[in-house]
Amino acid sequence: MFPEACVERTVEWVDTDASGHQHNSAILRWVEAAEAELFRALELPDYFPSAPRVKQVINYKAKLWFGQRVTASVKVERLGRTSLTLAFEVLGHALEATAHDAGASDGGSPAAAVVAAYGTVTTAHVPPGSLGAQPWPEHFVPRLTLSH
């Protein structure tokens, strides 16, 4: 079993584009906030200065609107010798009745949270001063696999 974490946020005006729904980059910011929460909980602060992204896959499924609550969750999906893949999901929670969601629910009852985006982020372990990926430090492995 692999560890996971989530954060809740509100779609702020700065998170939206000219059409009023979330800008694509907002998804990654929320995922990165959940990632930071995960590594704080695992007590691995040395992850961040040594884990550049090498691949990001984002599947957009639904629009998120200004003022809407979202939950971003990440889970360790795969731990390799020098890489780590996190799976993520961003859920949009029901909005109060607005022009954007009129008719979106079943007869006026609150709609369930919907998957707005999902995907993966892969990082490599590149310690400061290294020119390429190196094996994860020994103290990372048990924490990232929940075997500690």
Mean pLDDT to the nearest integer, 86-93? 97
Model pTM score = 0.85
Mean pLDDT to the nearest integer, 119-135? 96
Q: Which of 10, 15, 46, 25 is nearest to 138 (CA)?
A: 46
Percent of the chain residues topping a pLDDT of 70:
88
- Give me the residue label for tokens 């980059």: 25
Mean pLDDT to the nearest integer, 30-45? 96
Examine the pLDDT at 107 and tell me if it is beyond 50: no
Residue-range domains of the chain with CATH: 4-144 (3.10.129.10)
Q: Which residues contact 146 (CB under 8 A, 6 or more apart)?
A: 1, 2, 3
Q: How confident is the model at residue 103 (pLDDT cuts 50, 70, 90)?
A: very low
Q: Which two tokens stand for residue 99?
A: 């022009």
Examine the pLDDT at 78 and tell me if it is beyond 50: yes
